[in-house]
Amino acid sequence: MNEQVIRWAKVTATWVERVLALALLLGIAVFALKSTTTLAGMDWHATDTFYQLVYRILVLVIGVELVRTLVTHDLGAVLELLAFVIARKLLKPELSTLDILLGVGAFVGLLAARRFLLRAPADAPGFASAGTGTR
C-alpha cells in the first residue's frame, strides 16, 4: 500500500512538472514574439537597445534551461541554468565592483561544481578505462 502511494506521488509530480514546463514554454514563445515587436520599434543607435536585446535573449535562454531542468532533472542542466542567471546579472551596466567580484566567484564555484560533481564515466570516449593504464 505504501509503495503504491509513493509510486503514485512520483508519477503525479512528474506530470505536474511536465504541465508546468509546457506552460513555461508557451510563456517563452509569447515573450519572444512580444520582444521582437518591442525591439523592432526601438532606436538601434542607442546602447540601451543592445542591452535590452541581450537581456531579453538571456531571459529566453534561462526560460528554456528551466524547462530542460524540469523535464530532465539533470545536474548539468541546473548548473547551466545557474550560469545563465549569473551571466544575465553580470551584463547589467550599473554593477558595483563587489557585484562583479561575487559574480566571478559564483562562476568559479560553478566551474568547480561541474568539474567535481559531473565526472565522465570511465567507458566514455576520450577517457581511459580504470584498468588499461592508457591516457
Is residue 131 included in any domain, yes or no?
A: no
Contact in structure between 104 and 111 (CB atoms under 8 Å): no
Instruction: Using alpha carbons, list the distances in angstroms from residue 33 to 17, 26, 66, 85, 90.
Output: 24, 11, 19, 21, 25
Range of the domain at 23: 2-117
Task: Give a yes or no: residue 73 inside a domain.
Answer: yes
Tell me whether residue 101 is in a domain: yes
The predicted-structure confidence for 6-59, as pLDDT tens digits, reads as follows 999 999 999 999 999 999 999 999 999 999 999 999 998 888 888 889 889 999
pLDDT at 71 over 60: yes
Domain count for the chain: 1
Residue type, 31: F
Confidence of residue 120 (pLDDT cuts 50, 70, 90): low
In a domain, 54, yes or no: yes
Query: Torsions phi, psi of 80, nearest 5?
Result: -65, -40
For residues 28 and 134, the model is more confident at: 28
Does residue 129 lie in a domain region? no
Cα separation of 121 and 91, whole Å?
35
Residue 39 maps to a domain? yes
133 lies in some domain: no
Task: Give the whole-angstrom CA distance, residue 108 versus residue 105.
Answer: 5
- Does residue 94 lie in a domain region? yes
- CA pair distance 69, 81, nearest whole angstrom: 8
